Copies of this chain bind each other. A is one copy, B any other.
Amino acid sequence: MRARDTVTAAVLLIGDELLSGRTRDVNLGHIAERLTAVGIDLREARFVPDVEDEIVAALDVLRARYDYVFTTGGIGPTHDDITADCVAKALGRELYLHPDIESIIRRREAPPEVMASRLRMARVPEGAALLENPFGPHGFRIENVFVMAGIPRVMHAMLTSAIGRLEGGKPVRSRSITAFVTESQVASPLGQLQARYPDLDIGSYPFSRGDRFGTSLVARGTDVAALEALAAEIRALVEGVGGEIVEEGDG
């Protein structure tokens, strides 16, 4: 861990199917929410195909640059499941059959060839800790890399296990004000507010409901008092331009 207030992370999503459009990813949003909730700042996400050089290159960049790297996908039993191999290669470690995962896999009988394929899922790099999965074979953590399944409900379980092992930063809080106001109406004063609150982030997210256009204004940061002050200023700004506030939220 680097010595600083903010703990950072990246997500590496592995799988041809995510880039061909065959499967629509739902994991990134879930991971983003969960990390934000425990005060970890997700800084980058990359989608790469099931290609060793691509996976290893991305791992090398991301694990050097961020405190934590979370991967999804590529840990099943088939020929295109190469994430464990790539992590081992990137970290210069050997894979071995983890006895705990092996015994889970062997609980269900299978012909030798089928069992051989399934046992691929028991291969972890030397020194790895397991990320429990109640549905079957576990994921693993090695150094600052957390290797999780691509199937959402399995990934969720592994992420819960992973988060229990993390050192979080200060939790990031948010205040949101949603109003029927266009981004343009508030853009300039919002820029001035951002300049006056450099430690907080202000985001603006337009939406449409029926024929009406609106914007959610979201302030985020770790300093709750500053956040309240900024939220009050945003509220005044929106009301000042005649915007109808439809929702306020804390997070």
A side interface size, CB within 8 A: 65
How far is A188 from B43 in the complex, measured between Cα atoms in Å? 38
Q: How many copies does the complex hold?
A: 2
Nearest-CB residue, chain B, relative to A20: B36
A151 contacts B78, C-beta separation under 8 Å: no
Q: Could you jot down 30 A-B contacts, CB within 8 Å? A: A16-B201, A17-B205, A20-B220, A21-B30, A21-B31, A21-B32, A21-B33, A21-B35, A21-B36, A21-B37, A22-B203, A22-B205, A23-B205, A24-B29, A25-B29, A28-B47, A43-B54, A46-B46, A76-B204, A77-B187, A78-B187, A78-B204, A79-B187, A79-B194, A79-B202, A80-B202, A110-B184, A113-B188, A117-B183, A117-B187
Q: Spell out A's residues near B (CB within 8 Å).
A: 16-26, 28-37, 42-50, 54, 76-80, 110, 113-118, 120, 151, 172, 174, 182-188, 190-191, 194, 201-206, 218, 220
